[in-house]
Structure 1
Amino acid sequence: MTIANRTSVNREVQRSNDTTIRYTISGTADWPTLVLVHGWGCNRTDFDAITGFLPEHYRVLAVDLAEHGQSRSTRDVWTIEEFARDIAAVLEAESVDTCVVAGHSLGGAVAVEVGRILPDVVSHVVALDALHYLGLFPAQSEEQAEAMKHMFREDFAGGVRGLVEGGSPAGTDEALKDTYFEKMVAVRQPAGLHAIEGLVHWDMDAALSEVKQPITLFAVRAILTQEAIDRYGDRIRIVPVDLGSHHFPVESPEGTAKLLAGVMSD
């Protein structure tokens, strides 16, 4: 696959509570539209290389979630649903009438919620190593949620390190893990902590029961568990991949672009 010659522009949309959502867009309105949502503690630049490997006739929107990257907000609500409304505001601003929404990690949960609130706009939801981590994504019991929140409140850096380690198959380069840790631990606060809290309280099973669009999950084979397959395999098309760690969209942009292009062509 060759690198496309794309011209991108940066834009923003205003929401309530002094929320400014910034995003990058390339392509024209009459092209098939792909929306890219990054993971927790990351930002839309994670998709720069991927965008270059996508077919030139795609319109691509890469969005910074609130208080990530260049987006800013003073909101008090940090739920997955509210992140999804940020994406919905971008789609409305760009007059998108149909699209595929792909999200990495926490962005996968956001993509599911976008599909739920915009059933007539989102044709397919794609999760990039998201949804299958059973200690994070399905709604946790109150005891489990409090334990997770306590861990991050008491030792935020330790909690972030645990996330990085949990997404790193055996043999992952230590320097690479350190790079991810340093990026994610610098997430803006208090939004970073509140987003984690929002994720562990997100009712994934309820959302999946309402989302009617097909959902495809590209999961790191070495991390994917049989328990997750047994629990969600009848609702989500789960495709194991061997493209790197939890952050494979960054590590393997060309391979990730091929996966996304395959969904788009479907």
Structure 2
Amino acid sequence: MNHETTRSDGTRIHYTATGSTDGPALTLIHGWGCDRGDFDTIVKHLPPEVRVLAVDLAEHGDSRSSRDTWTIEEFAGDVAAVLAAESVESTVVAGHSLGGAVAVETARLLPDTVTRVIALDALHYLGLFPAQSEEDVQALLQPFREDFTGAMRGMVEAGSPEGTDPSLVDSYIKKMGSVRQPAGLHALEGLARWDMDAALREIAQPVVLFAVRSIIAKEAIDRYGDRIRIELVDLGSHHFPVESPAETAKILADEL
């Protein structure tokens, strides 16, 4: 069922709630420029007893906001608002791409509620993590300011291993390129400024990363392997949750 909750600043967060209210809770967070619909097929493959909450972050999907702050911490507040609205006392939080960062930050914000973090091809991109210098942030954003669609194409292609269906690549570019502005650009800036190292130091919950084998760099494994359990998968591109929903559902169910 589709629901909406409103934060104190007027931000309206839409989300979908399915499954048994008595079962283990799983909260799903989409990536940058995407929406909760990315999880629709995955949810159909999850055990019926699992309580699933799929969230549209502010200015993504159906959610709307006029706020001025677009940080990973503020996105975590969107998720926290949904958990409060649903009176969730315990949940595993899983996020794809930017959603993986939001999941970690939600764990820091709600240490007594979030029991585990699952990152789906997130957290290992060294061009974004750890927090970038001001010079690097501006260098990352400049191509998007000059030619958003072109820069988006480059980002999507970088996350698409050889053999990825070109029509899928085009569909991701079209979808992500339509993210509402200026929130879309501000969200990318917030991701580049997010201090993942600090967040990981401050959370006690286990974090597991399912990373596309052909994309993750050995340097990232060496840097974060002692803080994150890293599992390599061969399920498609950076957007493998969309491409391999049944297999992704099994990954999630096994971690509950």
> TM-score, normalized by length of structure 1?
0.95
1:103 maps to what in 2?
95
Shift of 1:201: 0.3
Q: How many residues align?
A: 256
- Separation in 2, partners of 1:36, 1:194: 22
Matched, 1:48 2:40: yes
Shift of 1:259: 0.3
Matched, 1:82 2:74: yes
Q: Of the candidates 117, 133, 136, which is equivalent to residue 128 of structure 2?
A: 136
| Preserved CA contact (<8 Å) 2:121 2:209 | yes
The one-letter amino acid of 1:27's match is: G
- Separation in 2, partners of 1:124, 1:29: 19
Shift of 1:55: 0.5
Shift of 1:17: 3.0
1:196 maps to what in 2?
188
Matched, 1:124 2:116: yes
**Deviation per CA, 1:55-83, whole angstroms, max 9, x where unpaired?**
01100000000000000000000000000
What residue ranges of structure 1 are gaps of 5+ in the alignment? 1-8
- Separation in 2, partners of 1:246, 1:99: 25
The one-letter amino acid of 2:75's match is: F
- Separation in 1, partners of 2:8, 2:153: 33
Q: Which runs of 4+ in 1 moved over 3 A?
A: none
**Deviation per CA, 1:185-215, whole angstroms, max 9, x where unpaired?**
0001110000001000000101110011000
User: 5 Å matches for 1:1-266?
Assistant: 9-264=1-256
**Deviation per CA, 1:223-251, whole angstroms, max 9, x where unpaired?**
01100000000000000001000000000
Shift of 1:175: 1.2
> TM-score, normalized by length of structure 2?
0.98
Percent identity of equivalent pairs: 68
- Separation in 2, partners of 1:83, 1:199: 10
Report the secondary structure of 1:216's partner residue.
strand
What residue ranges of structure 2 are gaps of 5+ in the alignment? none
The one-letter amino acid of 1:90's match is: V
